[in-house]
Amino acid sequence: NDVPTLPLVNGSIRFWFKPDWTSGEGPGGYGSLMSFGKWKAPPNMSGYWGLSLDPKGERIQFGAQSTEQGTTFIAASIKFTKGNWYEIVLSFDANASWIYIDGKAHGPGQGISFIPPDSALKSTGFAIGNNPQGYQPVKGLIDGFEIFNFPLSSIENQFKYFALSAQVASDPVRIRLQWGAQKKRTYEIKRRH
Protein backbone atom coordinates (compact mmCIF):
# COMPACT_ATOMS: atom_id res chain seq x y z
CA ASN A 1 0.00 0.00 0.00
CA ASP A 2 2.95 2.33 -0.67
CA VAL A 3 3.81 2.71 3.03
CA PRO A 4 6.87 1.41 4.90
CA THR A 5 6.53 -1.96 6.60
CA LEU A 6 7.85 -1.84 10.15
CA PRO A 7 7.65 -4.33 13.00
CA LEU A 8 5.81 -2.38 15.67
CA VAL A 9 5.05 -5.07 18.27
CA ASN A 10 7.92 -7.57 17.89
CA GLY A 11 11.22 -6.56 16.34
CA SER A 12 14.66 -5.04 16.47
CA ILE A 13 16.35 -2.10 14.82
CA ARG A 14 20.13 -1.90 14.69
CA PHE A 15 22.36 0.86 13.35
CA TRP A 16 25.58 2.79 13.90
CA PHE A 17 25.58 6.41 15.08
CA LYS A 18 28.43 8.96 15.13
CA PRO A 19 27.44 12.18 16.95
CA ASP A 20 28.79 15.60 16.03
CA TRP A 21 28.60 16.41 19.75
CA THR A 22 29.62 15.04 23.14
CA SER A 23 27.14 14.10 25.88
CA GLY A 24 26.45 17.11 28.05
CA GLU A 25 26.52 19.33 24.96
CA GLY A 26 24.15 17.13 22.94
CA PRO A 27 22.27 18.00 19.78
CA GLY A 28 20.85 21.12 21.46
CA GLY A 29 17.24 20.00 21.08
CA TYR A 30 15.46 16.67 21.01
CA GLY A 31 16.99 14.49 18.30
CA SER A 32 14.94 11.83 16.53
CA LEU A 33 17.06 8.81 15.59
CA MET A 34 14.02 7.26 13.90
CA SER A 35 10.32 7.95 14.06
CA PHE A 36 6.98 8.35 12.38
CA GLY A 37 3.93 10.37 13.32
CA LYS A 38 4.12 13.33 15.67
CA TRP A 39 4.29 13.38 19.47
CA LYS A 40 1.48 15.63 20.71
CA ALA A 41 0.27 16.52 24.19
CA PRO A 42 -3.08 15.01 25.26
CA PRO A 43 -5.87 15.24 24.28
CA ASN A 44 -4.66 15.92 20.70
CA MET A 45 -2.63 12.71 20.23
CA SER A 46 -2.64 11.45 16.64
CA GLY A 47 0.01 8.71 16.87
CA TYR A 48 3.80 8.49 17.21
CA TRP A 49 6.51 5.81 17.38
CA GLY A 50 10.21 6.51 17.76
CA LEU A 51 13.66 6.42 19.32
CA SER A 52 15.03 9.80 20.38
CA LEU A 53 17.82 11.63 22.22
CA ASP A 54 17.38 14.33 24.86
CA PRO A 55 18.75 17.85 24.13
CA LYS A 56 21.96 17.28 26.15
CA GLY A 57 22.69 13.89 24.58
CA GLU A 58 22.62 12.13 27.94
CA ARG A 59 19.55 9.96 27.44
CA ILE A 60 18.10 7.76 24.71
CA GLN A 61 14.44 6.75 24.85
CA PHE A 62 11.91 4.69 22.94
CA GLY A 63 8.24 5.59 23.14
CA ALA A 64 4.92 5.65 21.36
CA GLN A 65 1.51 7.28 21.34
CA SER A 66 -1.82 6.05 20.09
CA THR A 67 -4.80 8.39 19.86
CA GLU A 68 -5.68 7.48 23.47
CA GLN A 69 -2.43 6.87 25.36
CA GLY A 70 1.30 7.49 25.24
CA THR A 71 4.35 6.28 27.11
CA THR A 72 8.10 5.88 27.11
CA PHE A 73 8.69 2.11 27.03
CA ILE A 74 12.40 2.35 27.89
CA ALA A 75 15.04 5.02 28.50
CA ALA A 76 18.77 4.70 29.15
CA SER A 77 21.59 7.02 30.15
CA ILE A 78 24.26 7.46 27.48
CA LYS A 79 27.74 8.95 27.36
CA PHE A 80 28.78 9.67 23.78
CA THR A 81 31.95 11.36 22.55
CA LYS A 82 31.99 13.49 19.43
CA GLY A 83 33.30 11.66 16.36
CA ASN A 84 33.07 8.11 17.82
CA TRP A 85 30.83 5.44 16.28
CA TYR A 86 28.32 3.66 18.55
CA GLU A 87 26.26 0.59 17.72
CA ILE A 88 22.68 1.05 18.89
CA VAL A 89 20.14 -1.77 19.01
CA LEU A 90 16.49 -1.38 19.99
CA SER A 91 14.79 -4.73 20.67
CA PHE A 92 11.17 -5.09 21.72
CA ASP A 93 8.16 -7.38 22.04
CA ALA A 94 4.96 -7.55 24.10
CA ASN A 95 6.91 -8.56 27.23
CA ALA A 96 9.87 -6.15 27.33
CA SER A 97 12.03 -3.63 25.50
CA TRP A 98 15.82 -3.34 25.50
CA ILE A 99 18.38 -0.84 24.25
CA TYR A 100 21.93 -2.05 23.58
CA ILE A 101 24.76 0.47 23.24
CA ASP A 102 27.93 -1.20 21.91
CA GLY A 103 26.62 -4.52 23.23
CA LYS A 104 25.81 -3.27 26.74
CA ALA A 105 22.19 -4.02 27.63
CA HIS A 106 19.90 -1.41 29.14
CA GLY A 107 16.58 -2.76 30.34
CA PRO A 108 14.25 -4.41 30.52
CA GLY A 109 11.75 -1.69 29.85
CA GLN A 110 8.02 -2.05 29.33
CA GLY A 111 6.67 -4.37 26.68
CA ILE A 112 4.81 -2.95 23.70
CA SER A 113 1.24 -2.67 24.97
CA PHE A 114 -0.19 -0.51 22.17
CA ILE A 115 0.79 0.87 18.77
CA PRO A 116 -0.08 4.03 16.87
CA PRO A 117 -2.89 3.98 14.30
CA ASP A 118 -1.97 3.20 10.68
CA SER A 119 -2.79 6.80 9.79
CA ALA A 120 0.26 8.06 11.74
CA LEU A 121 2.70 6.17 9.49
CA LYS A 122 0.75 6.90 6.32
CA SER A 123 0.61 10.63 7.05
CA THR A 124 4.33 11.18 7.73
CA GLY A 125 6.32 8.18 6.49
CA PHE A 126 9.29 6.83 8.43
CA ALA A 127 12.20 9.19 9.12
CA ILE A 128 15.79 8.38 10.11
CA GLY A 129 18.08 11.00 11.68
CA ASN A 130 15.33 13.58 12.11
CA ASN A 131 11.61 13.58 12.73
CA PRO A 132 9.33 13.56 9.66
CA GLN A 133 8.64 17.28 10.08
CA GLY A 134 12.39 18.06 9.97
CA TYR A 135 12.89 19.89 13.27
CA GLN A 136 14.62 17.26 15.45
CA PRO A 137 17.97 16.53 13.77
CA VAL A 138 20.33 14.22 15.64
CA LYS A 139 23.36 16.16 14.39
CA GLY A 140 25.44 13.15 13.49
CA LEU A 141 25.79 10.29 11.01
CA ILE A 142 23.74 7.09 10.88
CA ASP A 143 24.98 4.03 9.00
CA GLY A 144 24.22 0.32 8.62
CA PHE A 145 20.52 0.64 9.44
CA GLU A 146 18.86 -2.80 9.77
CA ILE A 147 15.33 -3.85 10.68
CA PHE A 148 14.51 -7.32 12.04
CA ASN A 149 10.97 -8.69 12.45
CA PHE A 150 11.87 -10.37 15.75
CA PRO A 151 13.52 -9.16 18.96
CA LEU A 152 17.27 -9.78 19.08
CA SER A 153 18.51 -11.20 22.38
CA SER A 154 21.91 -10.16 23.72
CA ILE A 155 23.41 -13.38 22.33
CA GLU A 156 21.79 -12.94 18.90
CA ASN A 157 22.92 -9.34 18.85
CA GLN A 158 26.54 -10.49 19.17
CA PHE A 159 26.30 -12.97 16.31
CA LYS A 160 23.70 -11.52 13.92
CA TYR A 161 25.88 -8.62 12.91
CA PHE A 162 24.87 -8.56 9.27
CA ALA A 163 21.64 -8.09 7.34
CA LEU A 164 20.32 -10.86 5.16
CA SER A 165 17.82 -10.19 2.41
CA ALA A 166 15.89 -12.55 0.16
CA GLN A 167 14.28 -12.01 -3.24
CA VAL A 168 11.75 -14.55 -4.52
CA ALA A 169 10.88 -15.11 -8.19
CA SER A 170 8.29 -17.47 -9.66
CA ASP A 171 9.50 -17.81 -13.29
CA PRO A 172 11.86 -19.54 -13.00
CA VAL A 173 11.28 -20.49 -9.37
CA ARG A 174 14.18 -19.23 -7.27
CA ILE A 175 15.22 -17.51 -4.06
CA ARG A 176 18.20 -15.15 -4.11
CA LEU A 177 19.93 -14.46 -0.77
CA GLN A 178 22.22 -11.47 -0.22
CA TRP A 179 24.37 -10.31 2.69
CA GLY A 180 27.47 -8.25 3.30
CA ALA A 181 30.72 -10.20 2.95
CA GLN A 182 32.92 -10.63 6.00
CA LYS A 183 36.59 -11.57 5.65
CA LYS A 184 37.63 -14.97 6.99
CA ARG A 185 34.04 -15.98 7.73
CA THR A 186 32.10 -18.88 6.27
CA TYR A 187 28.33 -19.24 6.14
CA GLU A 188 26.24 -22.37 6.17
CA ILE A 189 22.87 -22.26 4.44
CA LYS A 190 20.30 -25.00 5.10
CA ARG A 191 16.98 -25.66 3.44
CA ARG A 192 13.93 -26.59 5.53
CA HIS A 193 11.06 -28.64 4.17
For residue 33, pLDDT over 60 is answered with: yes
pLDDT in tens, 135-181: 999 999 999 898 888 888 766 665 555 555 667 888 888 887 766 66
Q: Chain-wide mean pLDDT for the chain?
A: 87
10 Å CB burial of residue 26 (0-12, 13-18, 19+) is buried
Are 174 and 166 in contact, with CB atoms under 8 Å apart? Answer: no
- Phi, psi dihedrals of residue 190, rounded to the nearest 5°: -120, 150
pLDDT in tens, 90-115: 999 999 999 999 889 999 999 999 99
pLDDT in tens, 44-72: 889 999 999 999 999 999 999 999 999 99
pLDDT for residue 20: 97
pLDDT for residue 85: 92
